Amino acid sequence: MLENLPVLLSEDEIQKRIAEVAAEIDKDFEGEDVVVISVLKGAVFFTVDLVKKMKTPIELEVMQVSSYVGTESTGNLLVKKDLDRDIEGRNVLVVEDIIDTGTTLSYLKEYLLSKNPKCLKIAVLANKVERRKVDVALDYVAFDIPDKFVVGYGFDVDEKGRNIPYIGYIEE
């Protein structure tokens, strides 16, 4: 099923765009440091490539969150893995793999803002605008993508396919 996926974004396209996003972030945080929060699991691939291309001094954190049970939103944020450090008064960059409905990210943003960071910015690899139900301001968007089931470069099907180096999709 995951062999010969149609390619939505090639490895080269992904890496080129991540370098551009890293340069935007460096410009915005020039002379300052930032706590980068990678949202597990899918954003790990994007986060690693992004921070390797950034010149801004970073501290890396990870969080694992959900607002869904199965396919239904619970209306609340479930924090499965929280931050290890205090972010009060710090510059924070949340790195997320994909935004579709915006529900989880909206809850996560509210949760992190309650911890009083100096500023909170959001970087996302893939933005599915067509699926948005909750409007969330995104500061850095690598790609706007169509409403397709994507696999590769962190995106999975039942935990498989994350390590495919490009972003493909499953045709329905």
Strand ranges (DSSP E) for the chain? 7-9, 34-39, 58-69, 72-81, 91-99, 119-127, 140-144, 149-151, 167-170
Distance CA 147, CA 156 (A): 15
Q: Which of 28, 100, 139, 156 is catalytic?
A: 100
Active site residue 100: yes
Strand ranges (DSSP E) for 40-138? 58-69, 72-81, 91-99, 119-127
Annotated catalytic residues are 100
